Structures are given as structure tokens and as C-alpha cells.
A and B are shown apart, each in its own frame.
Chain A
Amino acid sequence: MNKFTVLTRTILIVATAFVAFNFFPLALNAQDNAVSQVSTGEQFVVSFTPENPDSQRNSPHAWIAEIKTADGEPVTNATIMVDGGMAAHGHGMPTRPRMTENLGDGHYKIDGMQFHMAGEWQLNLAITVDDVTDTVTFDQVIQ
């Protein structure tokens, strides 16, 4: 390989990088949202999703928490506390969501969820069953 080929290739790589960097900036964060997670103390397997996927993020709306034991049995007598925030911006949610209904079969309705900013939110659930509390945090990208 003579030195001109090396030079040409180097220049082409630099040029490509330059064009890519300038004309195709990083796409918006498209990270997949976790579907279900094991709680910190490994007591529960938890999923947390919007009740209606078409909900407007910046109006209060409901999410559904589904709670199972590590063996996959539904947990039907839990009490759930929810808060959230954006670590990157140092603020919490614009609302104070709360559990409004035990829907049975390990499903619970959390109403009053609202996100006034797009981006990565941390949603913290504290799940209490028979005086034992375990927590789980979801990193959730809200568009």
C-alpha cells in the first residue's frame, strides 16, 4: 500500500466522519423501556406501564403496576407508593400519583401520573406487603 492510498483513505474517513457528525446529529434517545424488573430486595417481579398508551404525557393519567412473587405468583395484597423525577434535571413529578385501585390478580392502578418534560425519568415504586417494603426503580424514557 503506497503512501497516497493511505492518505486518501485517511482523508475519506475524516471526511465521512465530518459529514456524519455535522449532518446527522445523534438521534433522540431511543432506549427501550424496561418491561418488568426484579425489586431491590428480590421480593417481587414488577411491571409498570401506562393504562392507555395514547395518554397525553402532560395530563394526569393512570398506569398499571403488576406485581408477582419471584415464583411468578400474583401478589394481591400490596400497597404501592409511587414517586418519580428526572435525575438529569433535579426535579420531581408535577403531580403526586397514588394507588387508587387494587384491580385483582396482582394488578394495581396508579393514577395521577404526569410528565411535564420529555426525556429520561426515574419512577420509584415502594411496594408493601404484610409490613415488608421492597422498592424498584424504572428508568423510563418519556417521549
Chain B
Amino acid sequence: MTRRYFAVTLVAVIISVAVAGTLLFGNASLSDAELKVARSLSLASLPKIPPDPSNVVADNADAVQLGALLFDDTGMSANGLVSCATCHLENRQFQDDLQFSRGIGTTDRRSMPLRGVGYQTWFFWDGRKDSLWSQAIGPLENAVEHGFTRSQVAKHVLATYPDEYTRLFGPAPKLAEIPPASPLGNQMQQANWQQLSEPTRDEINRIFVNTGKSIAAFERTLVPLENRFDRYINAVSSGQEPGEDATLSKQEINGFKVFAGKGSCIDCHSGARLTDDFFHNTGVPDPNNPPSDRGRATAFAELDADPFTCLGRYSDAAPDSCLDLQFMAREVDLFDRTFKSPGLRGIAERPPFMHAGQIETLEQVIEHYNNAPPAPLGHSEIVPLGLSNREKADLLAFLRTL
């Protein structure tokens, strides 16, 4: 009888301790299934960078070298002060910490970090470009970014990097005296473009594109960096005790569980780059009144009109390898005010957030998803999460490990 009492008491005590422990600290270990999900978000799951058949120099070492020079070259701007690196700063995760970027003027969307950009399918927040090289030449001719024209880019590149260019792309044509000319420029630049012969336009376009292809080759080398979460997952999955720089607190582990569970963050922020590379309307506010940015919905017409896509004459890809463009979903209504899910690596260190930097802190981002307000335009995909204050704090702690 005494032994029975003892056994009963012992079991009761164990249960009480377990319950109390769980209530106080939560369950901070990962089950096998949770570890599998966590691993899918870690660098261990990052595949090899996909080839870019539309860019024949995508993985060419000389192009990487030339691209690195071009990336920092302020000579490709209207005032001689703006380069790619102006808004994509290497020591700031290749973004600029600003709500709106500043080149010749001010942009209307936030600059995006570049690590892992070579894995993407669609470029810019609205995916209006389908290759990294085509993305890279966009800002050069944007009036508020570099404010340059393609004829000026072509002349600058041939004059500044003649040997590098020739080694990669063969003998360059001699460009006659050409005034600043671009089909996308101001009235005078467009008029100048109209006056050029078709072969001259083609020569300029080709040099312009090769400039982008070299920059893209460089940008493909900007791989995602290992973070504390990666190190923790590596240690745990190989059965080792996480080292000093690889520990996650119970709160951070609980935050991962919110991320992958009740928070549904993983629905769109999946894989080793923590993005699905797709477009979603999450009801984020529009800084413009009335709201005007329709995101992906306006990208389809731009892709159709763009000579620099995978299917265009300046692409090195066979048309039947341009699967993303060939099978693209393109219903304007469905994509109203959708924007690309950004990857979340390093996210805590680069406020402000969203496509227009309209949310200042990560706490406010979590509040936004928890509340799920209606979209200013189109239809928001998210629903209120009902996270407790503790779950929100845990989620924030987890995001800071990335």
C-alpha cells in the first residue's frame, strides 16, 4: 500500500512538473517533423544556383569581373554619381535602409537586398522583368535612378572597358557620335532614338544587354550568408551540441514553431531563401492617397512590350526553355496589388519593411499580419492569426535569428 501511494505520488509529481514546465517555458525542442521543416528553411536546403540559359555569360569568370566593375561604376548615370551600389550597399545586405531610394531623383518603391538574387525567377517587386540581366539594365534608363540612356551606356562601356568587353563578346562595333538616345527616355531622347537606323539601334541594344549580362554574372555570385539559425539546424541535424554561435533560445525555437504553424508565415516564406518567389496581396497600406500601386497587375503589359525578355531577340535561350514566361499566370484581376514575397534572411536588420517601406518596425509587421486589415486595392489573401502577445514576441525573436 505504501509503495502504491509512493508510485502514485511520484507520477503525480512528474506530471505536475511537466505541466508547469510546459506552461512556463513551452516545448522548446524540435520533433523530427519540425526539424525537417526547419531544415527546409536552412542553407542546407539551398540547391545549386539554377542556370540562366538566357545569359550565355551568366557563369563566366571574366563577366563576373567586368560586372563587379560595372556595378560600382558611377559613370553610367546622368550626374556621374549614381551606380548600382548607391542603392545596393555591400555592407548593408545590398540594400539602402531607406523607405524610397535616391538616385537622380527618388523612387516610389524600396530597394531590395541582392543576396540570392540569382535564384529568382521574376525581378522587381512586381516581377516586370524575367531575368537578372534584363532587371539590371532597367534602372540605368530610369529617370529617377541612373537617369542615363542606352546609347550613353553603350558608349561608356566601350570606352571604359574595351578589352574586357571584346574578350567576352567579340569585336565591338564603332559607334558614331550619337546623342543621348533611348525609346524610354524623355521627349528629346526618344526623338534621338527614332532618328537612328535599325542596325544602329540593334548595335546599341546589344551592348546595353551585354552590360546587363555582365552585371548579372556578378550578382549571381552574391550568395546567401549563413546565419545563427542555419548553424543551429546544422548542429542539431548532425546530432551535435550547438556551439556558442549556434544556439537558439527557447523563445526563438518557439518563434520558429509560430512561423511554421499558427503564424502561417511559411506559406509564402518557404525554402532556404524564405520566399516562394511569387506574388501576394497581403493588404499592406499604400503610401499614396488614393492608393495607386497595382503591383504585379501592371507587369504583364510591360513584359509583353519588353524586347529584353527570355523570348526576345537579345536572349540566348531557346524559346522552349523560357518556361516561366510561356506558362506565366497573367490574370490582371487576380494579381491586383500583389507584390513579390521577399526573402527573410537578415530581415531584422533592414527596416523599413514592405515594397514601399511603409511599415517601420518588425513588431508592426507582425501586428499587420496578426490583424489582417482589408486591402487598399484588390483582395487581401491573409486572415487574422489570433497570436497572443507571447507568440508575437517569440516570432519576433525567431525572425532576429535569420
Contact = CB atoms under 8 A, between A and B. Distances in A.
Interface string B1-36: 100110110011011001100100001010111101
B328 A95 contact: yes
Contacts of B22: 22
Contacts of A8: 4, 7-8, 11
A140 to B, nearest CB: 17
A58 B276 contact: yes
Contacts of B34: 25
A56 B267 CA distance: 17
Contacts of A92: 329, 334
A106 interface: no
A18 B18 contact: yes
A135 interface: no
B278 interface: yes
B278 A94 contact: yes
A119 B117 CA distance: 26
A35 to B, nearest CB: 25
Interface string A13-25: 0110011001111
A116 B329 contact: no
Given A7-B8, A25-B31, A96 B328 contact: yes
A27 B334 CA distance: 33
Contacts, number: 85
Nearest to B40: A118
Contacts of A97: 327
B104 to A, nearest CB: 35
Contacts of A116: 276-278
A95 B329 contact: yes
A18 B328 contact: no
A111 B15 contact: no
Nearest to B328: A95
A24 to B, nearest CB: 6
A114 B32 CA distance: 27
Contacts of B305: none
A111 B8 contact: no
B15 A94 contact: no
Nearest to B33: A27
Interface of B: 1, 4-5, 7-8, 11-12, 14-15, 18-19, 22, 27, 29, 31-34, 36-37, 47, 50, 121, 267-268, 270-271, 276-278, 323-324, 326-330, 334, 381
Given A8-B11, A56-B47, 13 more contacts: A4-B1, A4-B8, A12-B11, A14-B15, A15-B15, A18-B15, A27-B33, A58-B276, A94-B278, A97-B327, A98-B327, A114-B327, A117-B270
7 contacts: A11-B15, A22-B22, A59-B50, A60-B327, A91-B381, A112-B327, A117-B276
